[in-house]
A = this chain, B = another copy of it.
Amino acid sequence: MFEMDSRLQQDSLVLGDFGLCRLLLSKDANYPWFILVPRRAGVSELFDLSADDQAQLWKETTLLAEVLKGEFEADKINVATLGNVVKQMHMHVIVRHQSDAAWPAPVWGKVPAVEYAAGEVEAIRKRLRGLLGNGYQEA
């Protein structure tokens, strides 16, 4: 049975569900930092997913990346699945700007997380509304 890792639960907010993945927002206002988590049990590496699920993860990742690039006028989208600490497969999709706190370094461990102010998360939800396709259901 699919269950979200406790560390992911603690460090992020649920935005909604794609066909395969739960869409999370990292609790770090330094960057619009999204995380896709396949709703499958016992998956750590990409190749632990079935071929169909792999293809779907790729689709959801690429769709999200493209939407974020446009909506947030990203200078670059960073896409990564690391999992050295949290073993449950999760795909980071992060909007990067040349003006952000870690640029051009990767975001992990670079600067302390900044809390979202009241209303900012809701504003992000609103910005994404209608952009993520028919396969997406907002939470």
A121 within 8 A of B: no
The smallest C-beta distance from A97 to any residue of chain B, in angstroms, reads: 10
Beta-carbon contact of B58 and A45 below 8 Å: no
- Contacts A96-B84, A104-B84; A54 near B47 (Cβ below 8 A): no
- Tell me the number of copies of this protein: 2
- Residues of chain A at interface, number, CB under 8 A: 31
Chain B residues, Cβ within 8 Å of A61: 46
Contact string against B for A residues 43-68, beta-carbon threshold 8 Å, 1 for contact and 0 otherwise = 01111000000110010011001100
Beta-carbon contact of A81 and B78 below 8 Å: yes
A108 within 8 A of B: yes
Beta-carbon contact of B47 and A65 below 8 Å: yes
Q: Choose among B65, B96, B106 the residue that contacts A46 (Cβ–Cβ < 8 A).
A: B65
